[in-house]
Structure 1
């Protein structure tokens, strides 16, 4: 039996040459190779302590997947414009942390379309070796970049145009219940671009013709380490049931899939002190 104990954080993700996702869970000072645990029995117990991911103070309740209330209302990364990028207010001089905003919001962003069980539009800042960690966190099996834009605000404005014709949310239950059928993302991309051509042109004239650039057609397929998908999703809530045990059958998005059709969103419990036995 191996034991790992400490505060957990969002699983780190990467892909190999065939776009197979690799997962590592930070547990205290250790980094747990979760892919290697598939097929094994895991027991996990929440020890009753939550620490803020930013200030590391103990908190009775976790906000925004790992922050105390004080950090929730003071950090730029916890502001409402992170969820709604079209509301970015840096240019109004009201950013909570201007230096953070300059580093994270005033750089190239990408508008994408992904297949997460159904088609969705989204934005991301990182396209590492062609694959965005955001696509992986959403459990996307296919994704393609539509446009490159110069900042977060512009990405939100373009995304808002697209949302009239395609969803911007992931149905996490549907994402976890199987491998979705492949979709023609390039056709979807071209259809949406045609539908938003007039308002998009107006936005380009406002921001500059070179500011919003269409990206060449490349579809990325992403593969997850799953042996068996749940038939009917049963979500584990550590606040109500602080201990669980079972065979790990797969990992997708930020979810562990266990026997008995059980799943747990590990990212939701970032900052929780957990002991894991394998």
Structure 2
């Protein structure tokens, strides 16, 4: 039996020829999960949680891996990250102005994705296709490119009047999404927000919103068996969990005993046994 101990970080993924591969970072070690699919894998939580920013021990993980003080002061944990249309940088109240400059005033994309139903989303240019994989999308199509996170949030808000920005995670975990003609849906949706797009161009400049003619990205996940019923596993309730690893999708591991969202437990110290 092999054991690796470390603090959970978000699984890293790669997309090659439509297939996703995964690794699990545990501190400075990377556990290659692909050879473990179909094998026995046990994850045991030590009871320790250390903030991924300051390293201090915390009784609870906030905003996926932070202690409470760091959660309240870091720009990456501010509400405007979840709702970019509420960006308050121009009011001089950004928690970390330099972080905002480096991460929010860079190219962002507005996209359509199929995670069992069509949804709209946004992501930084550096997070394509990672963002789509993390959401468990089987198809994705970037439709707009803008120059800031605020602008992407405003375009997304306009589109949210017609389609959701949420993923039904239970349905996503139950199987592969039926194919959707995302290009046709974009063709139908964009004319409905023309007025909003014109307003954004008046506010930010004629080049603020670039319409894209991209190809649909198809994504397939390493899952050998999808569950008919979702049973969630939780380190806080069951410190030692696992079983036969049946697959991976989004940030979820599928075991024959249930599924676990590893991202929810970022900064938890665990030992992986396989």
What is aligned with 1:15? 15
Post-superposition CA distance 1:203-261 (Å, at most 9, x none): 1122111110101131000111110011111000110111113100000000000114x
The whole-number CA distance in structure 2 between the counterparts of 1:245 and 1:94 is: 44
Structure 1 unmatched ranges of 5 or more? none
The whole-number CA distance in structure 1 between the counterparts of 2:242 and 2:158 is: 45
Structure 1 residue aligned with 2:264, among 261, 268, 275?
268
1:127 deviation in Å? 5.0
What is aligned with 1:223? 220
Contact 1:124 1:132 in 2 (8 A): no
The whole-number CA distance in structure 1 between the counterparts of 2:129 and 2:135 is: 10
The whole-number CA distance in structure 2 between the counterparts of 1:82 and 1:53 is: 18
Runs of 4+ in 1 over 4 A off after TM superposition: none
The whole-number CA distance in structure 1 between the counterparts of 2:156 and 2:242 is: 41
Equivalent runs, 1:1-278 vs 2, <5 Å: 1-16=1-16, 18-126=17-125, 131-260=128-257, 262-278=258-274
The alignment partner of 2:62 has SS state of coil
Specify whether residues 185 and 127 from structure 1 end up closer, same or farther in structure 2 by C-alpha distance, changes over 3 A only: farther
The whole-number CA distance in structure 1 between the counterparts of 2:6 and 2:130 is: 24
1:126 deviation in Å? 2.6
Post-superposition CA distance 1:92-146 (Å, at most 9, x none): 1110000000000001100000001111100000356xx4211000000100001
The whole-number CA distance in structure 2 between the counterparts of 1:207 and 1:124 is: 19
Contact 2:15 2:129 in 1 (8 A): no
Contact 2:200 2:208 in 1 (8 A): no
Which TM-score applies when normalising by structure 2?
Answer: 0.98
The whole-number CA distance in structure 1 between the counterparts of 2:30 and 2:272 is: 12
The whole-number CA distance in structure 2 between the counterparts of 1:183 and 1:241 is: 38
The whole-number CA distance in structure 1 between the counterparts of 2:129 and 2:89 is: 24
Which TM-score applies when normalising by structure 1?
Answer: 0.96
1:154 deviation in Å? 0.5
Structure 2 unmatched ranges of 5 or more? none
RMSD across aligned positions (CA)? 1.0
The alignment partner of 2:125 has SS state of coil
The alignment partner of 2:23 has SS state of strand
The alignment partner of 1:168 has SS state of coil
Post-superposition CA distance 1:163-191 (Å, at most 9, x none): 00000011111110001110010111111
Contact 2:108 2:122 in 1 (8 A): yes
